[in-house]
Amino acid sequence: MKKLFEFKTKTIVATGLGAALFMLMFMYIKIPTGIPETEIQTAYGVGAFFAALFGPIAGGLIAFIGHALADSLQYGSVWWSWVVASGVTCFGIGLIYPKLRVEEGEFSMKDMIIYNVWQVICNAFAWILVAPILDIVVYSEPTNLVFTQGAVATVWNSIAAGVIGTLLLMIYAKTRSKKGSLMKED
């Protein structure tokens, strides 16, 4: 049985390396959308993938640490409201981790639908609710600006988590041997 909030050595290492990967993709691997400053962040695909594999604690910390470090590296300071929202997204996605059995080589159509519906809900919660509200409370940004930004971010991040996350989960499931795939010879 997978425990939801377990923090064993593997989770720690996955958090550390996952955050490094998130940071790298967050800074360098973006897909331009034609509108400046709103690229599709492939990092959210990786964050969602790690969250689904290693659980909410790892997922949340990966996005939080990765985003905070990437921000401070590029801008010298951290936009905390969005960093928190990133963490919330991947923490949320990680909550379905006990339901998935990807490391046993299983990722059925049903799993895929559950994963995608859930990640859209998490993204919407984080980017339409958490990020704009924190923007207003912490930074006193104008309301209509932050909610527009939030809506745009929801769309792009759901696409990233949906397309890239699903693809990675599918590929990963294929590399794992299925449980019970070995049979005793008569």
List interacting residues with another protein (CB under 8 A). 7-10, 12-21, 23-25, 28-29, 31-32, 36-37, 42, 46, 49, 61, 65-66, 69, 72-78, 80, 138-145, 148, 164, 167-168, 171-172, 175
Q: Which residues pair with 31 in a beta bridge?
A: 40
C-beta of residue 156 within 8 angstroms of C-beta of residue 33: yes
Please say which residue, 6 or 117, places its beta carbon nearer to another protein: 6
> What stretch of H or E contains 30?
strand 30-31
Please say which residue, 121 or 145, places its beta carbon nearer to another protein: 145
Using DSSP, state whether 2 is helix, strand or coil. coil
Of 178, 7, 17, residue with least CA distance to 94: 7
The least CB distance from residue 183 to another protein, in Å, is 26
Question: Chain-centre distance of CA 158, in angstroms?
Answer: 9
Please say which residue, 113 or 170, places its beta carbon nearer to another protein: 170
Please say which residue, 175 or 184, places its beta carbon nearer to another protein: 175
The least CB distance from residue 123 to another protein, in Å, is 20
Q: How far apart are CA 112 and CA 133, in angstroms?
A: 31
Q: How far apart are CA 132 and CA 82, in angstroms?
A: 8
